[in-house]
Amino acid sequence: MNPGPMLRAAGVGPQGYDSPAPRSGPDYRRRPGIDSAAASIALWLFMIVASTLFLLFLTAYAMRMNAGDWSPLAMPWQLWLSTLLLAGGSVLLHFATQAARAAHLSTARTLLLAGGACVCVFLGVQWWGWQALLTIHVTAAGNPAGSFFYLLTAMHGLHVVGGLVAWARTARGAWRYTAAVDAAQVAWRIALCARYWHFLLALWIVLFAALGWLTPDLVRLVCGIR
């Protein structure tokens, strides 16, 4: 007869009758398990691949600036607002992670929702910026600078949408956990979202700076070309 089911029902751990399996306490709450480690590594790998992709696009952008048909764009003011919204979402998710780690699940949920809302509005404001450029006849088929602007902001927007899908799953999961012992599960999920939000913010700052202030003269200076 297999005693395993009876031992588990009695709360006895695999080590013996005097060694019950830990079901509470700080060590249990702070051990998210192998799945969280794998998810963390996968996210780092994805961010490295995405960074490499955008680096290639920015390299092509810098090389294309030396063409005679290049005309720089004035960035619409809406992009400043969207930058603040993305920064706000990143900060809110950071504090949501801290709240979840302290087992303050109600506060963590509120901050998580607020952070996701900021990023949703970010996408809306980015679209507003597109419309502002289209109003003054800046299209993807005309000025090469406009083509790169739409390409880079659209690529970034797609990565934001992907992040929102993960955020929605995290928010749904946060409402499924109620016991204090489950706070660690909520915390590591929110922490992954926060890390990706920080990545999206850093990536956007680089793109915004390149689109708004990178000039052919600066590119030649950096590359040592006269």
| Distance in angstroms (rounded) separating the CA atoms of residues 82 and 202 | 13
CA distance to 4, 88, 136, per residue, from 176 (Å): 29, 26, 48
Residue whose C-alpha is closest to residue 172's, from 220, 109, 224, 114: 109
Task: Please give the Cα distance from 47 to 220 (Å, whole number).
Answer: 29
* For residue 122, pLDDT beyond 90: yes
Please give the average per-residue pLDDT across 5-16, as a whole number. Answer: 40
Domain limits, the chain: 77-226
Query: 77-226 belongs to which CATH class?
Result: mainly alpha
3-state secondary structure 163-197: HHHHHHHHHHHHCCCCCHHHHHHHHHHHHHHHHHH
CA distance 98 to 8: 34
**Residue 14 pLDDT more than 60?**
no
| Distance (Å, whole) CA 215 – CA 219 | 6
Residue 50's contacts (CB-CB under 8 Å, 6 or more residues apart) are 159, 199, 203
Most confident of 32-41, 66-75, 101-110, 191-200: 191-200
Name the band, by pLDDT with cuts 50, 70 and 90, for residue 56.
very high
Three-state DSSP at 143 gives coil
Placement of tokens 């996701």 in the chain? 116
At 22 the pLDDT is 42
- On average, the pLDDT of the chain sits at 82
pTM comes to 0.80
Q: What would the pLDDT profile of 144-177 be if each residue is shown by its tens digit?
A: 888 999 999 999 999 999 999 999 999 988 887 7
pLDDT of the residue at 4: 46
Q: Which two tokens stand for residue 209?
A: 């700076």
Best CA proximity match to 123, nearest among 83, 88, 166: 83
- The radius of gyration computed from the CA coordinates of the chain, to the nearest angstrom, equals 24
